[in-house]
Structure 1
């Protein structure tokens, strides 16, 4: 099966719960999406509520990927408020259900994020990657280039990780 994408879906109570569940599952599986496993529902739920509220308010754009009728992947575009950087957005919370990884869904998700950004008239995309996970190679395969690195900028308890800045011109 393959993903079917919906741009800017209506943030219904059902989608909020599916999004929370996806974020929890990805985090529990070790995905670099803001938390380090093991996680609890109590850690993820407030963050998921805040992100869903920002989508509902139109402050952040959501790309939802569905498979077999359920949310299986997400990515978000966070626009910049400053007029000097309004021509690009930051990609956040790129997630694919851990049970579905390895079948090209992540690549399709990124391709759709890029298409969504181009359709919105954006000129570039930025994203941040947690060092030590190898995910920068995935994004490099999609055309992103490392634009900078903040050594030890991310802290998870006693674990410090680099914050890797990546950039993709869309022109």
Structure 2
């Protein structure tokens, strides 16, 4: 139990410029809570905490090396939300990037924190010179409506590309958004 209070004080969004020693563990914990609640964090309920820790350690190294940009919200020293931007590296794509993760702890969902993280990510994308973003999500969570409401345009679907569990296949959905478009 993390002691997250749905009505408690939340700080952020904050851009992470210096990596905290416990950041990987905090990321793994957030992903575990989101996944256990059925959320689309990129993991399945059968993924072990060690697998989440390994993915988190990789992300921390990307943030440390400036290949990815992390924006967070927290509550009482607990990481409760993230947005992750990854600028493209190929010379012909350096004006574009990907919104890799946008996740909010299940106890705080539906309170506007996802939109705040999203908007902070767009502002940061502009600040680092990105003009266009893309993201990939999966069906089954109503995320299509969430992202469309934030100005994203669905560009395609890959039916059954995400296997959450045996017999539970979901569509992978691709979205794009111009960064310069007004934040809603």
- Provide the TM-score with structure 2 as the length reference: 0.85
1:122 Cα deviation after fit: 1.1
Change (3 A) 1:154 1:31: same
Aligned position for 1:103: 111
Aligned position for 2:4: none
1:55 Cα deviation after fit: 1.2
Note if contact 2:87-2:98 (Cα within 8 Å) is conserved in structure 1: yes
2:89 corresponds to 1:77 = no
Q: Residues of 2 paired with 1:163 and 1:17: CA distance?
A: 27
Q: Identify which range, 90-99 or 67-76, moves more after superposition.
A: 67-76
Change (3 A) 1:101 1:157: closer
2:54 corresponds to 1:46 = yes
2:123 corresponds to 1:115 = yes
SS for the counterpart of 1:49 is helix
Residue in structure 2 matching 1:6, options 14, 38, 45 = 14
Which residues of structure 2 form unaligned runs of 5+?
A: 1-8
Count of aligned residue pairs for this structure pair: 171
What are the Cα deviations for residues 6-58 of structure 1, in whole angstroms up to 9, with x where unaligned? 21332221222222211111111111111122543123111111111211122
Q: After TM superposition, where is structure 1 displaced by more than 6 Å over at least 4 residues in a row? A: none
SS for the counterpart of 1:125 is strand
Which residues of structure 1 form unaligned runs of 5+?
A: none
